[in-house]
Structure 1
Amino acid sequence: MGLQQGGESASVATRPISARVVAEVLRGVAQVDFMPSVVCGLFFVAALFAADWRYGLYGLLGSAVSTAVAYGLGLDRETVGAGLHGYNGCLVALSCAVFLGAGHPATVAVAALGSAVAVVVTVGLGALLATWRLPALTAPFCLVATAVTAAAPGFRRLWQGAGAPAALPVPAAGPTGLSWDQLWHGFFANIGQIFFMPQWYVGLLFLAGLFAASRLAGLMACAGSATGLLTAWVFGAPGEAVGQGLLGYSGVLVALALCGVFLAPDAWSAAYALVGAAGATVLTPALGAASAPFGGHAFTWPFVLTTLLFLAAVPAVPRLRRT
């Protein structure tokens, strides 16, 4: 997802092939949160397995398939090695497991196919957006996942395996007060819901992975999550939705993207990132409602749209610098 291709990927050619492949797949998982780090990837995979062993396998499957397809298409080896073609596949596979049912054989097939298609979509969108120096982010995942969930009711084997909609954007109704449990659960769940996982302890593992890769990334994830909570509370969002992280996850990604990944980290970019995080939080239920005919899943569209708009504005803002 990010542009970071730190030192870890610099020596991949000198490693045994098996170790290199494992490292690239793990980086593909970590790049969901912009981290080209094997250690971060290990934390993230551990978090998925902590939620459900099948989710861990689906996450690895998606990253592995996308990485293999990228190599098969002859894409830039350094980019593939940094995990930049694995993260959309990871999210596509996970979304299939969560929304179609992890235990159904047809889900495995569509997850693998969707992960492969995501690579082509990533390359196509990257070429279109390169003119404006804008990244594709998770737009390829969003496009593929939206298509899959919209099409699933038309395929009996897929729809029979559909699981409970565990990550719907916002419940239609609910109490607007926030209890202490909802508040601290929501803080960690905002981070976990990037991977569709609402459990607070899973979010905690994801956060630990971010801190293991980058202290700045960990701090910005915390700041983005807190901003999402505050924004949701100010506007009276249902407490149950806030506690499950259903509004704040895009804010976490926006905060990571706009301070340290695409913009040079300083006080101005940090403030800019938190404004973006608040905007993405407000946008989430709106896009959830707009996507009702297609399953009602906002996915990471709020993050994608907010980040692209905020990055497009950067040339007109003298205090901000691109990395």
Structure 2
Amino acid sequence: MPQAAPNFYFFKKFYLLIVISLKGFSQVLLVGNAFSGLLILIGITLHSPVLGLMAFLSSIVGTITGKYLGGDRDLIRNGIYGFNAILCGISTILFLHGDKRWFIALFAAALAALSLKMLTKVLDKWNIPVLTIPFVFITWIGLLIAYRVDTLYMDPDFVISSPAMWNLPVEGTPTLLVGMIKGIGEVFVIDSLWTGSLILLALFWTGWRFGLYAIIGTFVSWLTAYFIGADTHSLNLGLYNYNAVLTIIAVSLVFNKNLKKTPYIGIIAAMLTVPVTAGLELLLDPLGLPALTFPFIVCSWLFIALGKVFQSYKYKQTVPVQRLPSRNKQPI
């Protein structure tokens, strides 16, 4: 009997850690739901058990790191310290070869939590969301180091950019449905119909608006990329879609209170991610770096800022101006 209470306390703490870590998966899509996170984890694991295991361990490492760094309790409980860690862990496993990549992936996950803690303090002053900045910059820096260090081996399947690859072939048959679903899976840097389908299911589980907006975002971005002449390979892989999915959710649902008007604004933001992605890819190609979710960050920040400016202007127009009585006016 004396040991029952400690065992129960340990089980409760372990259960809470698992739930928070699962929320980290859904927080990649800007929602906090443990069951949605479980569906996403299953989708990743079906594609690759190794990636699934690393993603789960990365979320745990990010959560524990956030706790011992003294992170905000509500942020920790909602899985905020897990989502950048998950993306860093997955990208490390995908981009690197060798036994050291496991250690590097977990180190990157911890570093993502540390970066989130530091950036939150700075950006909160301007009420700017951190989003996936830690993941993007840690991955970029890691890739640049890997190009120059012999102890880190790049995966040969990861195409290192060269001038010969700047003009991609446009031959082939674009497939709308495949590109849309894979585009949702590419949020986690994964090319898989199963993963994309389960992520979409996870969004619908969170709320029908999240699932519907994800479909709209990936649809309009695919059409935009198709009509501006994007290469067929990228279209079928959904490489122009995943930033749009994140952006439309951020702009239309998470960081905007006016749900009646935001679908139209979110659609415009989702479409904008396509030329932004194309431009950033051209800019980053000479460095051999992928755009990752940086277009999502740029477009979301832009439309969040514009929304705040518009709301401020609207507030000034609706507030009546209080006029003081004139001192020179004489009573009749």
Partner amino acid, structure 2, of 1:172: N
* Pair 269,166 (structure 1): closer, same or farther in 2 beyond 3 Å: farther
Question: Which residue of structure 1 lines up, in the alignment, with residue 46 of structure 2?
Answer: 50
Distance in 2 of aligned mates of 1:212 and 1:52: 23
Q: 1:250 aligns with which of 243, 255, 278?
A: 243
Runs of 4+ more than 4 Å apart: none
Which secondary structure state, in structure 2, belongs to the residue aligned with residue 75 of structure 1?
Answer: coil
Question: Which residue of structure 2 lines up, in the alignment, with residue 93 of structure 1?
Answer: 89
Judge conservation of contact 2:243–2:293 (CA < 8 Å) in 1: yes
Alignment deviations for residues 96-141 of structure 1 (CA, whole Å, 9 cap, x no partner): 111114xx22111111111111112112222222222110000111
* Pair 126,308 (structure 1): closer, same or farther in 2 beyond 3 Å: same
Cα root mean square deviation, aligned: 2.3
In structure 2, runs of 5+ residues without a counterpart are 1-8, 315-332
* Pair 196,172 (structure 1): closer, same or farther in 2 beyond 3 Å: farther
Judge conservation of contact 1:171–1:238 (CA < 8 Å) in 2: no
Q: Offset at 1:319?
A: 10
Question: Which residue of structure 2 lines up, in the alignment, with residue 149 of structure 1?
Answer: 143
Judge conservation of contact 1:187–1:225 (CA < 8 Å) in 2: yes
Judge conservation of contact 1:28–1:82 (CA < 8 Å) in 2: yes
* Pair 167,205 (structure 1): closer, same or farther in 2 beyond 3 Å: farther
- Alignment of structure 1 residues 1-323 onto 2, 5 Å: 16-101=12-97, 104-159=98-153, 162-165=155-158, 172-175=167-170, 178-179=173-174, 182-318=175-311
* Pair 154,140 (structure 1): closer, same or farther in 2 beyond 3 Å: same
Partner amino acid, structure 2, of 1:122: L
Distance in 2 of aligned mates of 1:220 and 1:66: 28
TM-score, normalization by structure 2: 0.86
Q: Offset at 1:282?
A: 1.3
Q: Offset at 1:47?
A: 0.7
Please identify, of 14-23 and 195-204, the stretch whose mean Cα deviation from structure 2 is larger. 14-23
Aligned residue pairs total 303
Alignment deviations for residues 126-172 of structure 1 (CA, whole Å, 9 cap, x no partner): 2222222110000111010110111112232321x52412798x973
Which secondary structure state, in structure 2, belongs to the residue aligned with residue 85 of structure 1?
Answer: helix
Distance in 1 of aligned mates of 2:129 and 2:212: 23
Q: Offset at 1:265?
A: 5.0
